[in-house]
């Protein structure tokens, strides 16, 4: 096993951690913006295997990351289940809503997602044949809780209040939605692996808004079910879990879910992560995305601090959340150069 990312996920402590970035293919790159213009709109780009392959490869060519992550979107799964999905320029995604049993009844069974998602699998196959031999290919999906919050509200919300309200008022419908999303996510990620993905990541961007037993029920349990099913189908498959803003709930997340790596956001200190989370397995993170905008000596110092704090165990260097559209590509190159200095 020579790919640095796979070595780290297998709990090997490397002299220089492998590095990639969430949203590394995106609007901060001029070549991405040009390709998206060719596609016409965001969803057309996601479903065009040729162009989706191209934008996934762009940051690999430019920066030499240790991993490529499939270019897609977490809301393709609800669309494949029958939800209407569209994007409003400057505002983000919109979906038809699931707010009661009648809406839920209109969704398709989880096993039927593949027809809609077939172009995504073609993109994965393209990437598996196009990436440099040392670069790992990551597939991904949104976690059921996070995807459900969008499906219930019809859009992103600051506090996920509509989803919390549905839990309080109609828990049976909410849990039925979580169950179908869990099953669909297993199908989707398994098909990505069959197409050539070597690692999968489960993004639970809104996990931090779950409290108490609800965190265990709707963040931990689905991640555990998805991970176990994938590992049963694909023995040895590494899984990265990202329960963003989980805080103290990061502790024990490896063991509770079976994930090989737990990604952490930048609301927790790397030194705390090294003490409380890294002993359980590989960790990923957690440079604040703002440093990709501001750059300078502060960027260098933060890269070195995080690298050194997590140098005693398996570590994948990444941001604490996705890179923002206003980031400077030169700062990305500076981050990688600083991380790999003296290597």
Residue 321 phi, psi (nearest 5)? -160, -175
List, in sequence order, every residue forming a beta bridge with 199; answer none if it has no partner. Answer: 138
165 catalytically annotated: no
Catalytic residue among 7, 23, 224, 244: 23
Catalytic residue among 62, 73, 103, 165: 73
What is the token pair recorded at 181?
């999303």
Give residue 218's region: left, alpha or beta (phi > 0; psi -120 to 50).
Answer: alpha
- Identify the helix (H) or strand (E) that includes residue 88: strand 85-88
27 catalytically annotated: yes
Catalytic residue among 36, 155, 276, 305: 36
305 catalytically annotated: no
Catalytic residue among 28, 32, 47, 150: 150
d(CA 273, CA 17): 15
d(CA 25, CA 45): 12
250 catalytically annotated: no
Q: Which residues contact 95 (CB under 8 A, 6 or more apart)?
A: 75, 78, 79, 83, 84, 85, 150, 151, 154, 155
List, in sequence order, every residue forming a beta bridge with 240; answer none if it has no partner. Answer: 201, 261
Active site residue ranges: 23, 27, 36, 73, 150
């Amino acid at each position: 096993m020579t790919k640095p990312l796979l070595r780290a996920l297998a709990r090997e402590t490397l002299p220089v951690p492998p590095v990639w970035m969430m949203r590394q293919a995106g609007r901060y790159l001029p070549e991405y913006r040009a390709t998206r213009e060719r596609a016409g709109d965001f969803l057309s780009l996601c479903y065009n295997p040729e162009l989706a392959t191209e934008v996934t490869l762009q940051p690999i060519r430019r920066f030499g990351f240790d991993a490529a992550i499939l270019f897609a979107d977490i809301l393709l799964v609800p669309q494949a289940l029958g939800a209407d999905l569209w994007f409003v320029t400057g505002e983000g995604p919109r979906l038809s809503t699931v707010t009661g049993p009648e809406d839920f009844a209109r969704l398709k069974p989880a096993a039927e997602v593949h027809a809609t998602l077939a172009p995504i699998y073609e993109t994965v196959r393209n990437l598996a044949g196009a990436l440099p031999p040392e670069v790992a290919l990551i597939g991904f999906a949104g976690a059921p809780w996070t995807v459900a919050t969008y499906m219930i509200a019809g859009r992103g919300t600051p506090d996920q209040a509509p989803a919390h309200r549905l839990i309080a008022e109609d828990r049976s419908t909410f849990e039925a939605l979580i169950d179908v999303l869990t099953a669909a996510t297993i199908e989707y990620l398994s098909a990505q692996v069959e197409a050539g993905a070597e690692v999968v990541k489960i993004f639970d961007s809104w996990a931090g808004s779950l409290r108490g037993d609800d965190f265990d029920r709707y963040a931990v349990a689905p991640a555990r079910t998805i991970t176990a099913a994938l590992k049963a189908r694909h023995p040895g498959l590494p899984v990265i879990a990202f329960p963003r803003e989980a805080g103290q709930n990061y502790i024990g997340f490896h063991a509770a879910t079976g994930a090989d790596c737990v990604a952490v956001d930048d609301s927790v200190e790397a030194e705390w992560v090294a003490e409380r989370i890294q002993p359980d397995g590989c960790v990923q993170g957690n440079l604040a995305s703002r440093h990709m905008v501001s750059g300078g000596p502060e960027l260098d110092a933060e890269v070195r601090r995080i690298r050194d704090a997590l140098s005693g165990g398996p570590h994948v260097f990444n941001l604490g959340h996705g890179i923002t559209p206003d980031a400077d590509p030169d700062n990305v190159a500076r981050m990688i150069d600083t991380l790999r200095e003296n290597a």
